[in-house]
Amino acid sequence: MSALLPMPFFSLVLLLVWLLINNSLAFGQILLGAVLAVGLPLLLRPMHVPGPRVRSLHGVSIYLLRLLRDIVVANFDVAKLVLSSRSKLRPGFIMYPLDLTDDLPITLLASTISLTPGTVSADLTDDKRYLLIHVLDMHDEASLIEELKQRYERPLQEIFAC
Amino acid sequence: MNLNELPLWLEILLSALLLLGGLFVLIGAIGLVRLPDFFTRLHAPTKASTLGLGAILLGSMVLVSVSHDGVSLHELLITLFLFITAPVSAHMMCRAALHQRLKIAPGTRNGEYQGLTLARQQERDSSRLP
């Protein structure tokens, strides 16, 4: 990558966030945002940990839309569970075997799991091979693991091509 | 546009968004009281309140965009930060709870994983000692 913009995507996000915070598209704000967007990555470059690159922007947009839809569904599901009788709840833990290996995709998967229906990621084993997940209402352990794998982990694998 | 001159359909839309948001935040709070143990309680604020807050912020966005000139996008940032911080804080609290061996609701399946995590942490701590 070029010397002036070591992290072009990060720079773009910084500029967008700056403009959103100020809620303005004035020339001065764009200029100030651009200075920050170029300056901050240059300062942070020594701390940058190289990770896997995003391979498919198409995959990212599909993933985000699915996540948004699932969050809405998750809210209704959890609301129903909260208001229904306590004895119906079947909480439990599962050990989820990870196929992902890099830190960033694992973090994204764990966050996705925490935001979606009845699951919160609780712990990651030291060898990064298993994710401990707490489930609010568990019917079938194996089918839940399979669903998480198909619905979230495979798309993440495709996005990061790993 | 003055706040008193909002068209009726917009007022209805905004009220519906605010009510929906309020309802979900309320359900999240009820969940905190009703659910049996720490781990199940953790589910209520990470989910029920994201949609609740989302609906309220959407309402705020529409109202400010209509009543002032120009679009208000601050709310998008709040949503973004919420979606980044909510799962991370839930994860940290869950880890702390596992470490503290908080009581698990009876009937929880695979409760022994808690012991497993703890044994692993103790092993790691003891291997750090000189």
Residues A111-138 have pLDDT tens digits of: 888 887 678 888 887 778 888 888 888 7
- Contact residues, B window 21-50, toward A, CB-based 8 Å cutoff: 24, 27-28, 30-31, 34-37, 39-40, 42-44, 46-48, 50
pLDDT band, residue B121 (cuts 50/70/90): low
Answer yes or no: do A116 and A61 share one domain.
yes
In a domain? residue A2: no
Strand partners, A120: A134
Same domain, A111 and A130: yes
> Within an 8 Å CB–CB cutoff, is residue A138 touching chain B?
yes
- Are both A14 and A61 inside the same structural domain? no
pLDDT of residue B19: 93
What pLDDT is recorded for position B123? 64
Q: CA A137, CA B54: separation in Å to the nearest integer? A: 24
pLDDT of residue A114: 85
Number of structural domains in chain A: 2
Same domain, A94 and A146: yes
Mutate to test the interface with B, among A21, A69, A75, A135 (most CBs of B within 10 A): A75
Nearest CA in chain B to A22: B74
- Chain A: residue whose CA lies nearest to B29: A82
CB-closest option in A23, A92, A132 to B72: A23
For residue A33, the enclosing domain spans 8-47
Instruction: Let me know if residue A1 belongs to a domain.
Output: no
Question: pLDDT of A23-48, one tens digit each?
Answer: 778 888 889 988 988 888 888 887 77
Q: What is the pLDDT of residue A86?
A: 66
* d(CA A162, nearest CA chain B) in Å: 23
Same domain? For A116 and A150 the reply is yes
Kindly state whether residues A147 and A70 are assigned to the same domain.
yes
- CB pair distance less than 8 Å for B39 and A75: no
Cβ–Cβ contact B81 with A under 8 A: no
Looking at the fold, whether A99 and A139 belong to one and the same domain comes out as: yes
Residue A13 in any domain: the answer is yes
Q: How confident is the model at residue B16 (pLDDT cuts 50, 70, 90)?
A: very high
User: In this structure, are A39 and A70 located in the same domain?
Assistant: no
B33: nearest CA in chain A?
A82
Task: Render pLDDT for A63-105 as a digit per residue (tens, 0 to 9).
Answer: 889 888 888 887 888 888 888 866 677 888 888 888 888 888 8
Q: Which ipTM was obtained for this model?
A: 0.74
> What is the C-alpha to C-alpha distance for residues A102 and A153, in angstroms, rounded to an integer?
12
User: Is A94 contained in some domain?
Assistant: yes
- What pLDDT does residue B116 have? 64
pLDDT at A59 over 70: yes
Closest CB to A118: pick one of B43, B50, B98: B43
Residue A75 CA, chain-centre distance (Å), reads 18
Is the pLDDT assigned to residue B52 strictly greater than 70? yes
Task: Tell me: do A64 and A137 sit in the same domain.
Answer: yes
Domain match, A93 and A111 both: yes
In a domain, A52, yes or no: no
Q: What is the per-residue pLDDT for A75?
A: 82
Q: Among candidates A134, A36, A94, A157, which has minimal Cα distance to B104?
A: A134
Please check whether residues A110 and A32 belong to one and the same domain: no
Using an 8 Å Cβ cutoff, are A103 and A51 in contact?
yes
B61-94 pLDDT, tens digit each: 888 888 776 677 778 888 888 888 888 888 888 8
Is A118 inside a domain boundary?
yes
Strands in chain A per DSSP E: 92-97, 119-124, 130-135
Which residues in chain A have their CB less than 8 angstroms from residue B84's CB?
111
Mean pLDDT of B90-114: 77
Residues A83 and A26 in one domain: no
Q: How confident is the model at residue B114 (pLDDT cuts 50, 70, 90)?
A: low
Spacing of C-alpha B90 from chain mean position:
9
* Segments of B1-130 assigned E as strands: none
Higher pLDDT, A15 or B113: A15
Determine, yes or no, domain membership for A124: yes
pLDDT band at residue B18 under the 50/70/90 scheme: very high
Asked if B107 contacts B43 with a C-beta cutoff of 8 angstroms, the reply is no
Residue A3 lies in a domain: no
